[in-house]
Structure 1
Amino acid sequence: MNKNLLSIAIILLAVAIVIVNLWEPNSSEEKKDVASEENGSTSSENVAVSDSSGVEIGKTAPDFELVTLKGESVKLSDYKGKKVILNFWATWCPPCKAEMPHMQKFYEENKEDGIEILAVNLTDIDSGKESIESFVKEYELTFEIPLDEEGVIGRQYQAFTIPTSYLIDTNGVISNKIVGPMDEEMMKSLTDEMN
């Protein structure tokens, strides 16, 4: 009985730590201001965000550039014209572990149909690159694994609970947001609804 209570307490503590680390009020605005100051620019043009982009359904998904686990640079905008599942995850997350085999199977069955998966690892809250590499090898993942080493993209996309997935259509518009794990059937149904 005590072991069960201890396990539950540890899980709750881990979830609380993740939420505290990911939730930083006004952090994106502050970072935009800091980036402007560091560049010596005070132009509002450099910090303005288009009204047509955001993380809400119906908005254009904000572009980003990250380095993948393979060391290659990847941008979300590189996938315009394809349906994209943008997934946020970590190796220690039990629902992420449950979801990954489904995601891999779905990817294998649908990659020829113009569907891509970008599984962004929240590296800033994960156990290091070696554990990510081991995880990818264990689950035989073949889709791209961008590394969000500073957690900026995870916060921008409000991935406060993981896994969190955004379904992005061929025009780069967010068609759905799913908090929690998905299986192949759900992925198929949601991507079939997209243009």
Structure 2
Amino acid sequence: MTHLSDKEKLRASKKKKRLIIRTIILFILVSAVIFAILTKKDVKMLKVGDQAPDFELVDLEGNKHRLSDYRGEGVFLNFWGTWCAPCKREMPAMERMHAEFEDKGVHILAINIKGSDLQVETFRDDYGLTFPIAIDKDESVKEAYTIKPLPTTFIINKDGKIEKIIIREMSEAEIRGYMESIQPE
């Protein structure tokens, strides 16, 4: 019969505790992964050619904007944030293109993601923006359009179909080109 020393018993006890803790941690991690897989929403990524999801938001002046109200005209649908440096850089070019294309049936609709009224109004005033700006306070439109990076812009034709999805900052020439591409005849 072999007798274990107190040191050996203590070592064996610690080893057994570590094994139990590791098993519990592994069980929790496996459970979390299974839970995430089972509860994952079936997110449909929008692509070129898809019908753009309709929505209704209120702009800073209190006017309602439904995407479906723009049927028959082109829409430059821009998702942005007040903190987003690329968004800040492309806003002046968007304003110039708004002035040029508004009467030609191409509209800019800028959707701020979850900013406060004060933040967005201050931003608008600082940049002298005149196109409609709405705030997606509950992020429902962001989710419908599966927006990840900002800025993201959807170029939507007169039939409400997505012509192009741009997930980066654009130059003024690019903005002009996209707006020309959805100008109704």
**Bigger radius of gyration, 1 or 2?**
2
Q: How has the CA–CA distance of structure 1 residues 91 and 27 changed in structure 2, closer, same or farther, with 3 Å as cutoff? A: farther
What is the letter of the counterpart of residue 26 of structure 1?
K
2:107 aligned with 1:116, yes or no? yes
Mapped to 1, the partners of 2:90 and 2:133 lie a distance apart of 15
Q: Tell me, in whole angstroms, the C-alpha distance in 2 between the residues paired with 1:78 and 1:85.
A: 14
Task: State TM-score, norm by structure 1.
Answer: 0.70
User: 1:86-143 deviations in whole A, cap 9, x for unaligned?
Assistant: 00001011010001001001111111111100100102xx3x2111100000111111
In structure 2, relative to structure 1, the CA distance for the partners of 1:112 and 1:57 (3 Å cut) is same
Give the structure 1 partner of residue 83 of structure 2. Answer: 92
The equivalent residue for 1:164 is: 152
Shift of 1:55: 2.4
Deviation at 1:25, TM superposition (A): 4.7
The 8 Å contact of residues 90 and 172 in structure 2, kept in 1 or not, is answered as no
1:82 aligns with 2:73: yes
- Alignment of 1:132 onto 2:123: no
Contact 2:111 2:136 in 1 (8 A): yes
Which residue type is aligned with residue 164 of structure 1? T
Instruction: Tell me how far apart the structure 1 counterparts of residues 95 and 111 of structure 2 sit (CA, whole Å).
Output: 14
Letter in 1 for 2:91: M
Q: Match for residue 26 of structure 1?
A: 41
* In structure 2, distance between residues paired with 1:135 and 1:120: 13
TM-score after normalising by structure 2: 0.73
Query: Is 1:66 aligned to residue 54 of structure 2?
Result: no
1:177 aligns with 2:183: no
Query: Which structure 2 residue ranges, 5 or more long, are not aligned?
Result: 1-38
Partner of 2:33: none
In the alignment, the residues of structure 1 paired with residue 139 and residue 42 of structure 2 have an alpha-carbon distance, to the nearest angstrom, of: 11
Gaps of 5+ in 1: 1-23, 30-53
Paired residues in the alignment total 145
- Distance in 2 between residues matched to 1:184 and 1:105, nearest whole Å: 9
Other structure's SS at 1:85 match? strand
State the 1:187 CA deviation: 1.5
Q: Is the 8 A contact 2:101 2:179 kept in 1?
A: no
2:160 paired with 1:145: no
CA contact (8 A) 1:60 1:173 kept: yes
Distance 2:161 2:153 in 1: 14
In structure 2, C-alpha distance between the alignment counterparts of 1:131 and 1:80, rounded to whole Å: 30
Percent of matched pairs sharing the same residue: 37
Give the aligned residue type for 1:102: A
